[in-house]
Structure 1
Amino acid sequence: MKKIYLLLLLISIVACKEDLKIIDKPIEFGELREQLTLEYLESHYGIVQDAPIITPKMVVIHWTAIPTLEKSFGAFVNTKIGSHRTKINTASQLNVSSQFLVDLDGTIYRLMPENFMARHVIGLNHCAIGIENVGGTESTPLTEKQLEANIWLVTYLKKKYDIDYVIGHYEYTNFENHDLWLEKDNGYRTLKTDPRKDFLMKIKSATKELGFKEVPVKE
């Protein structure tokens, strides 16, 4: 039944791929955000450079745990992080962000240039493109339309960049001993469960032929 479901899902994606597109909905990315991004790259990863450019090697799937597009967008749009984000605002004043945001109806929004660094995953922002999905709560679960959009978007990104991994946010600490892991602050970690294993496994199964590498096993 699982194989039949995935086959039907892929057929659905192929059938509607002409309808799927990326809509630009930019967050603030002026001089201050660029400065804070460059400071983040240096302080957390030891990377010193003149522009906030990354070389994407992975795609990280998230949920916002916020029920609407506009409120989710509102969490990312400002340059500086809010004072209420007490678990992470001491690590940097740079606001959290993501290159993409997918609405409940599957509409894909690009929030910033794909190869600009976004703050969405500890230790790996320097090489990771983030896909945030609106919702993820018990009352607003992720949808089939979002699943289709994520599969389409992961495929698009793999064809455009030399992407090695597609992971869920909850898998990020598996990379702590990997060459891609650069976090200098050993005390800077948060516990994540997004986007839940069942949602992620459907994405991985549907994109298996793209040849992504297996996520390292956490020691």
Structure 2
Amino acid sequence: MFADVPPPAIVQSPIPFKARRKNEMRRYARRHYGIDSFRLEGPKVIVEHITANNSYSATWNTFSADVADPELHELPGTCAHFVIDRDGTIHQLVPLGIMCRHTVGLNYTAIGIEHVGTTDGQVMDDRRQLRASLRLTRWLQSRFGISTENVIGHAESLSSPYHQERVRRLRGQTHGDMSASTMTRYRKLLSK
């Protein structure tokens, strides 16, 4: 189904994800998905995000701090598997076998990719960053057999066929980054 795609250059920049945080992730997964595990097994979705800031280091610091997030007030702290800096550097923060808290309703089956920037347009107009993003996403698609239709923006999370959320108050929760119109363009570029 997918041609072998070589991995792009990836800088290993791990955030602390020791036993305590894994246990927090396990409890989160049990509460939200009915899964008693912190492990990400057989991911089916890739979710593209923007950091809403212009600093890789600020993003790393936010994700490394295992504190309750200001929006939903839950542990573990939010994180993503990858962060792509403005210069196109791809940083891997969390191993692909561990769930990250980046998209309500999809963390159990989704790989999270953050792009340093404040708007969708900024990311899409940054040639180095966009090129790195497409390379990383294509490699992940090849590695896990993820179809292009399941490469989504954070704003599209509720329309994913994989979306499931057991906590009633969060069933309609999403964000506006990487909108459907942005992702239509992104998915066309992925297919080239």
Under TM normalisation by the shorter chain, which class is it? 0.7 to 0.9
The residue that corresponds to 1:88 in the other structure is 72
Aligned partners of 1:56 and 1:115 also within 8 Å? no
Instruction: Verify: 1:23 aligned to 2:11, yes or no.
Output: yes
Aligned partners of 2:80 and 2:101 also within 8 Å? yes
Q: How does 1:127-166 map to 2 (within 5 A)?
A: 127-137=109-119, 141-142=122-123, 143-164=126-147, 165-166=150-151
- Give, in whole Å, the separation in 2 of the partners of 1:107 and 1:197: 25
Taking only the aligned residue pairs, the percentage that are identical comes to 29
Give aligned pairs, total: 182
Which residue of 187, 209, 212 maps to 2:169? 187
Aligned partner letter, 1:58: V
Q: How does 1:158-177 map to 2 (within 5 A)?
A: 158-164=141-147, 165-175=150-160
- SS of 1:187's equivalent in the other structure is helix
The residue that corresponds to 1:3 in the other structure is none
Q: What TM-score, normalized to structure 1?
A: 0.76
| Unaligned runs of at least 5 residues, structure 2 | 1-5
- Give, in whole Å, the separation in 2 of the partners of 1:132 and 1:105: 14
Aligned partners of 2:40 and 2:96 also within 8 Å? no
Taking only aligned residues, the RMSD between alpha carbons, in angstroms, comes to 2.1
Aligned partner letter, 1:148: R
Q: Name the CA shift for 1:137/1:204 in 2 (closer, same or farther; >3 Å).
A: closer
| Unaligned runs of at least 5 residues, structure 1 | 1-16, 210-219
Which has the larger Rg?
1
Instruction: Verify: 1:67 aligned to 2:54, yes or no.
Output: yes
Aligned partners of 2:25 and 2:75 also within 8 Å? no
Q: Give, in angstroms, the shift of residue 137 of structure 1.
A: 4.2
- SS of 1:93's equivalent in the other structure is coil
Greater displacement, 53-62 / 35-44: 53-62
Which residue of 30, 53, 76 maps to 2:40? 53
The residue that corresponds to 1:102 in the other structure is 84
Q: What TM-score, normalized to structure 2?
A: 0.86
Deviations 1:175-209 (A, max 9, x none): 3xx3x222101211434221244542332012226
Which residue of 199, 205, 209 maps to 2:188? 205
Moved over 4 A (4+): none
The residue that corresponds to 1:214 in the other structure is none
Aligned partner letter, 2:190: T
- Give, in whole Å, the separation in 1 of the partners of 2:163 and 2:77: 21
Greater displacement, 40-49 / 123-132: 40-49
